[in-house]
Amino acid sequence: KAGVTQTPRYLIKTRGQQVTLSCSPISGHRSVSWYQQTPGQGLQFLFEYFSETQRNKGNFPGRFSGRQFSNSRSEMNVSTLELGDSALYLCASSSTPLGSGGADTQYFGPGTRLTVL
Amino acid sequence: ELKVEQNPLFLSMQEGKNYTIYCNYSTTSDRLYWYRQDPGKSLESLFVLLSNGAVKQEGRLMASLDTKARLSTLHITAAVHDLSATYFCAVLSYNTNAGKSTFGDGTTLTVKP
């Protein structure tokens, strides 16, 4: 079974631009979560999508948004990029939503490393 | 606001020794995750602990959860070099029945021969 894929793997943008990152979950997984990892703030939850609906959102400004398509692929968008948005963005998929009754093991993609200049 | 504290943040061990990583959290939760991250790589799920008293073991790693003490431990038995990595715990909290994870700062483990 193919793992979680993320594109692109590396991205360089300048302040003020916007960026869209893509995540394809494991086949059959309907939950996709996004995380930001930085040296200063560590790992932080961005949002989770399940069946095309955003279930929960972390403490990030409205510049961070996402969506999920009917095939469970997900995109996240960051508008008006700031230097502090430089980070590794990870997505993870699971068969059930976070906190649902079963063991919601998450499988992570390789990440997209975003550098904002 | 849920806070998750891991300690120690850095751990240097000799091969063959045992040690424990601690994960404390500030508010009630009944679900805790442990992950491993190798340098420059993504996260790998190790354990999902679902209830008070849960214990899970995989190879030289054993994780436990005490929801009353708001504490999880990751015990390493007879460490080997391949266990060198950063280990994160994450605690689930709920907002209108939807869960979100809060991560600890990670414990960077170095196992020396």
What's residue A18's pLDDT? 98
DSSP for B24-38, written as a single string: EESS--S-EEEEEE-
Q: How confident is the model at residue B108 (pLDDT cuts 50, 70, 90)?
A: very high
Classify residue A85 by its DSSP letter. Answer: G
At residue A22's C-alpha, the angle toward residues A71 and A77, to 5°, is 115
Q: How far is B79 from chain A (nearest CA, A)?
A: 25
Nearest Cα neighbor of B1 from A64, A1, A45 is A45
Q: Mean pLDDT, to the nearest integer, of B50-75?
A: 93
The percentage of residues in chain B with a pLDDT greater than 70, rounded to a whole number, is 97
What's residue B29's pLDDT? 83
Q: Distance (Å, rounded) from C-alpha B29 to C-alpha B26?
A: 9
Q: How confident is the model at residue B51 (pLDDT cuts 50, 70, 90)?
A: confident
A98 vs B contacts (CB less than 8 Å): 92, 98-101
Q: Distance (Å, rounded) from C-alpha A29 to C-alpha A15?
A: 34
Per-residue pLDDT of B18-48, as tens digits, reads 999 999 999 888 789 999 999 989 999 999 9
What's residue B96's pLDDT? 65
Q: How far is B48 from chain A (nearest CA, A)?
A: 7
Q: Distance (Å, rounded) from C-alpha A21 to C-alpha A6?
A: 8
Please confirm whether the linkage preceding A61 is cis (ω < 30° from 0). Answer: no
Searching chain B, which residue's CA lies closest to the CA of residue A40?
A: B105
In chain A, which stretches have pLDDT less than 50?
none
- Which of A 57-96 lie inside 8 A of B, CB atoms? 57-58, 90, 92
Q: Distance (Å, rounded) from C-alpha A49 to C-alpha A55?
A: 6
Searching chain B, which residue's CA lies closest to the CA of residue A99?
A: B99
Picking from B41, B42, B99, the nearest residue to A99 by CB comes out as B99
Record: contact B99-A56, CB cut-off 8 A = yes
